[in-house]
Amino acid sequence: MCTGSSGIILKVTNSIENMNISTSNSFNEICGAIHIHTTFSDGGVSYEELIKTAQTLKLDYIIATDHMSLGGRDSGFEGFHDNLCVLIGYEHHDPDIRNHYLAIGSKKVHQNSKKPQEYIDAVKKDGGIGFLAHPAEKRHYFSNLPPYPWNEWQVSGYDGLEIWNQMSDWMEQIRSYLPQKISGFCS
103-162 pLDDT tens trace: 999 999 999 989 999 999 999 999 999 999 887 766 666 666 666 778 899 999 999 988
Whether residue 10 is predicted with pLDDT greater than 60 in this model: the reply is no
Is residue 103 assigned to a domain?
Answer: yes
Q: Mean pLDDT over all residues of the chain?
A: 80
On whether the CB atoms of residues 101 and 121 are closer than 8 A, the answer is no
Is residue 6 assigned to a domain?
Answer: no
pTM of this prediction?
0.76
Is residue 185 assigned to a domain?
Answer: no
Rounded distance between C-alpha atoms, residue 181 and residue 19, angstroms: 48
Tell me, rounded to whole angstroms, the distance of Cα 29 from its chain centroid.
Answer: 20
Whether residue 182 is predicted with pLDDT greater than 80 in this model: the reply is no
Average pLDDT for residues 42-60, to the nearest whole number?
A: 96
Rounded distance between C-alpha atoms, residue 150 and residue 134, angstroms: 7
pLDDT of 2 = 40
Is residue 95 assigned to a domain?
Answer: yes
Whether residue 72 is predicted with pLDDT greater than 50 in this model: the reply is yes
pLDDT of 163 = 77
On whether the CB atoms of residues 53 and 47 are closer than 8 A, the answer is no
Ranking 66-70, 136-140, 165-169 by mean pLDDT, the lowest is 165-169
Rounded distance between C-alpha atoms, residue 128 and residue 113, angstroms: 15
Is residue 186 assigned to a domain?
Answer: no
Whether residue 83 is predicted with pLDDT greater than 90 in this model: the reply is yes
On whether the CB atoms of residues 177 and 169 are closer than 8 A, the answer is no
Rounded distance between C-alpha atoms, residue 26 and residue 165, angstroms: 29
Q: Which domain holds residue 123?
A: 16-178
For the chain, strand residue ranges (E) read 32-36, 61-67, 79-81, 84-92, 101-104, 129-132, 160-161
Rounded distance between C-alpha atoms, residue 57 and residue 104, angstroms: 23
Is residue 187 assigned to a domain?
Answer: no
DSSP state of 57: T
Average pLDDT for residues 93-110, to the nearest whole number?
A: 93
The torsion angles phi and psi of 125, rounded to 5 degrees, stand at -60, -30
Is residue 2 assigned to a domain?
Answer: no
Ranking 10-14, 159-163, 180-184 by mean pLDDT, the lowest is 10-14
Number of domains in the chain: 1
Is residue 184 assigned to a domain?
Answer: no
- Which CATH number characterizes residue 90's domain? 3.20.20.140
In three-state form (DSSP H/G/I as H, E/B as E, the rest C), the secondary structure along 71-114 is: HHHHCCCCEEECCEEEEEEEEECCCCCCCCEEEECCCCCCCCCC
